[in-house]
Amino acid sequence: MGTESDSNGKTKGTCVAERSVHTYFTYRTACGPLTLGAVTGMLTHVLPGEAILDGLRRPSAVTNAAATQIMEYLAGKRTVFTVPFQLGRATPFQQRLWKSLDAIPYGQTRTAAEVARALGDERSFRAVGSALRKNPLPFFVPAHRVVSARGTIDGTDAMAALYRTCLTVERRFA
Per residue in 45-104, pLDDT (tens digit) is 999 999 999 999 999 999 999 999 999 999 999 999 999 999 988 999 999 999 999 999
Residue 166 to residues 23, 42, 67, 70, 143, Cα–Cα distance (Å): 25, 22, 15, 10, 10
Straight-line distance from the first to the last Cα atom of the chain, in angstroms, rounded to the nearest whole number: 48
What are residue 29's DSSP bridge partners? 32
For the chain, give the longest Cα–Cα distance: 64
Q: How many residues does the chain have?
A: 174
Q: State the pLDDT at residue 36.
A: 98
Cα gap 168→74, rounded to integer Å = 10
Q: Who contacts 156 (Cβ-Cβ below 8 Å, separation ≥6)? A: none
* E-strand stretches of 18-62: 22-29, 32-39, 42-48, 56-57
Q: State the pLDDT at residue 19.
A: 67
Residue 15 in this model has a pLDDT that exceeds 60: no
pLDDT digits (tens, 9 = 90+) for 106-160: 999 999 999 999 999 988 999 999 999 999 999 999 999 999 999 999 899 999 9
Q: State the pLDDT at residue 21.
A: 87
Within 10 angstroms of residue 43's Cβ, the number of other Cβ atoms is 25
Q: State the pLDDT at residue 4.
A: 41
